[in-house]
Amino acid sequence: MSPKIFTLEEKERLKEQMFHAGLKLLKEYGMTHMSVEKITSEAGIGKSTFYNFFLSKEDFVLQLIEFNRMRFWKAVKDMLGGREKLTVDESKKVLTAIINNQDSVYQYLTPEDEEKLAQASPDKGKADIGEETETLSRLFSMFENVREDIDVAVIANMLKILAMTAENRSMLHESGYTRTQEKLFGVLFDCIFKEDTNE
């Protein structure tokens, strides 16, 4: 029996269906216990269909990360609504959403998972400092009132610290978590925006 040929529209719909199913399972089971069988069952498709799109579970997770990245840029574009820049207040909401996004794949990955992803695709599985800098610079170009002396490396590190704090929330004093996050965001915002633009 010859493999099914999908139209471009069907391919996009099926991939999105699998990504939504996979994200749900990743949150529930983690990458190790999120099997291809569980993904295909949750998405309501056959296992062979999965392999029409992905080489492996690791390839699936890498493409899911890219899918979420594209959704993020679309959301920013929608927020802009044809404008060139987001206000400071809108920009702060975007930065806060990056950290508190429950659909971020990274918060559900163990160090072992990240190592498997790096082995599956050495060029995609590890952090690329140049790519991070380019991504942040692109994002800041969409923000109003950004400091001229912005230090992208420091901001990238601060975002990672905020992400690690969110991922390890259970290790922190729960009663002070929200206030701690607010303080950290305050420092981050001071590093990005000009002083006279606090809203």
pLDDT, tens digit, 9 for 90 and up, residues 99-117: 988 888 888 888 899 889 8
Q: Are residues 94 and 72 in the same domain?
A: yes
Q: How confident is the model at residue 4 (pLDDT cuts 50, 70, 90)?
A: low
Q: Is 109 exposed, middle or buried (0-12, 13-18, 19+ CB in 10 A)?
A: buried
Q: Is residue 86 classed as helix, strand or coil in its secondary structure?
A: strand
Which tens digits make up the pLDDT trace of 57-116?
Answer: 999 999 999 999 999 999 999 999 999 999 999 999 999 999 988 888 888 888 899 889
CA 51 to chain centre: 24
Q: Are residues 107 and 31 in the same domain?
A: no
Q: Is the pLDDT of residue 2 over 70?
A: no
Distances (CA, A) of 43 to 9, 35, 36, 108: 17, 12, 10, 20
39 in a structural domain: yes
Contact 88, 25 (CB under 8 A): no
The CATH number linked to 13 is 1.10.10.60
- Residue 127 is predicted with a pLDDT of 54
Q: Are residues 80 and 173 in the same domain?
A: yes
- Residue 107 is predicted with a pLDDT of 83
- Residue 197 is predicted with a pLDDT of 44
Q: Is the pLDDT of residue 130 over 90?
A: no
Does residue 168 or residue 180 have the better pLDDT?
A: 180
Q: Are residues 98 and 169 in the same domain?
A: yes
Q: Are residues 75 and 134 in the same domain?
A: yes
Q: How many domains, in total, are found in the chain?
A: 2
Distances (CA, A) of 184 to 113, 155, 166, 190, 191: 28, 11, 11, 10, 11
148 in a structural domain: yes
- Residue 159 is predicted with a pLDDT of 93
118 in a structural domain: yes
Q: Are residues 79 and 112 in the same domain?
A: yes
Whole-number mean pLDDT of the chain?
90
Q: How confident is the model at residue 198 (pLDDT cuts 50, 70, 90)?
A: very low
Using alpha carbons, select from 69, 91, 107, 74 the residue that is nearest to residue 185: 91
Q: Is the pLDDT of residue 6 over 80?
A: no
1 in a structural domain: no
62 in a structural domain: no
Helices (H), the chain: 8-33, 36-43, 47-53, 57-80, 88-100, 111-120, 122-125, 129-140, 152-167, 174-192
Q: Are residues 130 and 176 in the same domain?
A: yes
pTM listed for this prediction: 0.81
Q: Is the pLDDT of residue 199 over 70?
A: no
150 in a structural domain: yes
Q: Is the pLDDT of residue 185 over 50?
A: yes
Q: Are residues 164 and 79 in the same domain?
A: yes
Q: Are residues 27 and 93 in the same domain?
A: no
Q: Are residues 18 and 107 in the same domain?
A: no
Q: Are residues 133 and 172 in the same domain?
A: yes
- Residue 121 is predicted with a pLDDT of 81
pLDDT more than 90, % of the chain:
69
Question: Which structural domain, as residue segments, surrounds residue 29?
Answer: 8-54
Q: Are residues 122 and 151 in the same domain?
A: yes
Q: How confident is the model at residue 154 (pLDDT cuts 50, 70, 90)?
A: very high
Using alpha carbons, select from 89, 88, 95, 109 the residue that is nearest to residue 29: 109
Which token pair is 116?
């498997």
